[in-house]
Chain A
Amino acid sequence: MTNLNGRYAIQLHDVSVFYGHKPAIQHVTMPVVSRKITAYIGPSGCGKSTLLRVMNRMNDLVPSARVSGEVLFHGQNLYGPEIDPVEVRRRVGMVFQKPNPFPKSIYDNVAYGPRLLGVRDRAALDQIVAQSLKQAALWDEVRHELKKSGLALSGGQQQRLCIARALAVEPEVILMDEPCSALDPISTQKIEELMRDLSRHYTIVIVTHNMQQAQRVSDYTAFISVRKEERPNEEYRWGELVEYGSTMELFAHPQQEETADHIAGRFG
């Protein structure tokens, strides 16, 4: 596949992930469209998060994980031998399910990434921190207490702090692993608005359990379902991509019966 005028930020090509000898997700082929929001939906344990973590090589941190297939980023395979996973994670940022600010001040949380990259100049750091917090719609709430611990913020604020922290290293893609599952509806709404805002400049991939959320925020949706196989002494469960399309299409006219059942809340 070629990079169609930068239309695709990431292309997955026959991607499978195994933990030890057990498959977690198999044979996924799909694109991630640049500067749009792509949502992964599917039942629990179908490997959505695993697939998300393939895109910035976070699975490398699990010793038993093995990835096959190609993940193309600017036409380059992220799992190629010459690729440094640290470099990948600088260009593909991540926001996690539970807000996980560092036990440091708000300022130091946001400045962490730039400092890793060697930014020492105080004025430059101040500028990056302010800009990232503004982008994450947190600036007005914390501008006078940047020295306060990140852990002292509310859950929704913490998650926006984590988004600001990810933005501070200027990634091209931001992966979000159920970013609102630990938040109340008002905080969720704020994060969703923020995602719509950010999608003008960033490519966003989000995993969600919440069908309405996928409909509200995403431009493209991929439905992943669970496959099972009885083996002697154990049961293998892995995920497979069932359907991928524009969110409007997929929710209005699902092509597969399984997708329709899942969207309607009927589980087989």
Chain B
Amino acid sequence: MTTDRDPVALAGRPLEELPATELARLLGEHTRKARLRVLVRDEILHVSEAIDTSLPVDNLLAGYAYPEALAVTSFAALTEQELVAILEVNLDQARLHDLVLAEVVGYKVVGSWPLLRSLTDRAGIEAEVAASETPNAELRFHSWINFDFLTSPMSSIPASAGVRAALLGTIYIMLITMAVAVPLGVGAAIYLEEYATPNALNNLIETNIRNLAGVPSIIYGILGLAIFVRAFGHLTSGAFVGVTDSNGRTIVSAAMTLALLVLPIVIINAQEAIRAVPWSIREASYGLGATRWQTVRRQVLPAALPGILTGTILSLSRAIGETAPLIVVGASAIIFTDPSGPFSKFTALPVQIWQWTARPQDQFRDLAAAAIIVLLVLLLSLNAAAILLRQRVSKRLS
């Protein structure tokens, strides 16, 4: 990596220790006005198209914080200090620190080497760095996956970027997906196996469920967009609880879409599990004067539980890796804040991975690889949990 300026010389002490005001001052002193305007656009407004700079501040930044005194000033007429003041009231210290590193210190990752080579050929890498013509080059050995990677939010500087927002987004989405899909799916399976009589309508429903399990996920994404984001936007946006910035592209919408996606899989697996319960057990229960529901509740469900659990975890594993429907439903490509609840904007691990691999800089691909490992570990630990749970439940039954 290289730096344009020595970060410690800049303020006399390590940048991480500086308060937000100091960081903002540094940013204002060393950054050109046009660049500061771009930062306001990228960091606060989160839009990628050009903005009309002739508008006054209160119009352009409606809904965001800005110093009162600047309200009627045209955006184009703002000085460096005034632009920095706007950044300062909108961003926290950590984010300002990242910006100072990127904009003032000029902290850049120039190249990276694979793990195997850095373990076996350290001298070679060092020689390569020494021979390179990059000014202020500095070689650092560090793993992309570490505790900071899990706990830092997204950043435009690869070295300080993390998966925190994406990881939390994925966990929130999965929790809601399962809360919706499991009761519905198991309920449907119970109805189809224990209550429904084989007639034309029920056969049609069953065939359809089987077909739905094979529908490409992006179709579900479009369905989710049409239903949860558009048609029920007033509910999924959380407007009724006072959330205004999400426009229906929320965790709830994403979770409902994934719930639709996995519902057929949950139903089919639960049906198989229920069907595998021997008929003799049902007969014994009915023979003792149990009602249908008592038989289902006390005999069939407990005996089918291990199978239902396995099916549920399998469908969870499918949902956790889905990217396309989330993008269609409106996952935010760049998000710096943690999801604050079911009605907040979101991103998820696979979306984050996809977004990082689409970046031109090599280092984001390293980040993507690290995020893939995080996703993989999450997935494998879920499956392991499923196996353990299943074994405990079946042991209790036999």
Residues of A within 8 A of B (CB): 56, 58, 61, 63, 86-87, 89-90, 93-94, 96, 98, 100-103, 112-113, 116-117, 149, 151, 162, 165-166, 169
Contact = CB atoms under 8 A, between A and B. Distances in A.
Contact of A112 (B278, B283, B285, B291): B285
Contact of A100 (B281, B294, B298, B303): B281
B197 interface: yes
A86 B289 contact: yes
Given A96-B280, A100-B280, A100-B281, A56 B287 contact: yes
Which of A61, A89, A103, A151 neighbours the largest number of chain B CB atoms within 10 Å of its CB? Answer: A103
A161 to B, nearest CB: 11
A63 B398 contact: no
B288 A89 contact: yes
Which of B197, B280, B289 neighbours the largest number of chain A CB atoms within 10 Å of its CB? Answer: B289
Interface string B279-299: 011111111111100100011
Given A113-B289, A116-B290, A169-B289, A102 B284 contact: yes
Contact of B197 (A63, A101, A162): A63
B198 interface: yes
A149 B278 CA distance: 17
B397 interface: yes
Contacts of A93: 287-288
B286 A58 contact: yes
28 contacts: A58-B283, A58-B286, A61-B282, A86-B289, A87-B289, A89-B286, A89-B287, A90-B289, A93-B287, A94-B283, A94-B287, A96-B284, A98-B280, A100-B280, A100-B281, A100-B283, A102-B281, A103-B303, A103-B397, A112-B288, A112-B290, A113-B288, A116-B288, A116-B290, A116-B294, A149-B398, A151-B398, A162-B284
B276 to A, nearest CB: 13
Interface of B: 197-198, 278, 280-291, 294, 298-299, 303, 397-398
A87 B291 CA distance: 9
A92 to B, nearest CB: 9
A89 B398 CA distance: 27
A165 B288 contact: yes
A112 B298 contact: yes
Nearest to A100: B280
B288 to A, nearest CB: 4
Nearest to A114: B288
B113 to A, nearest CB: 57
Given A63-B198, A116-B294, A100 B286 contact: no
Nearest to B288: A113
A63 B199 CA distance: 11
Contacts of A149: 398
A149 to B, nearest CB: 7
Contacts of A61: 282-283, 286
A169 B288 CA distance: 7
Contacts of A116: 288-290, 294
B235 to A, nearest CB: 40
The 3 closest A-B pairs by CB, nearest first: A90-B289, A100-B280, A94-B287
Given A61-B282, A90-B289, 19 more contacts: A56-B287, A58-B287, A61-B283, A86-B291, A89-B286, A90-B288, A96-B283, A96-B284, A98-B280, A100-B284, A101-B284, A102-B284, A112-B285, A116-B288, A116-B289, A116-B294, A149-B398, A162-B284, A169-B288
A103 B287 CA distance: 16
Contacts of A98: 280
A87 to B, nearest CB: 7
Contacts of A89: 286-289
Nearest to B280: A100
Nearest to B299: A102
B41 to A, nearest CB: 65
A98 B278 CA distance: 12
A124 B105 CA distance: 81
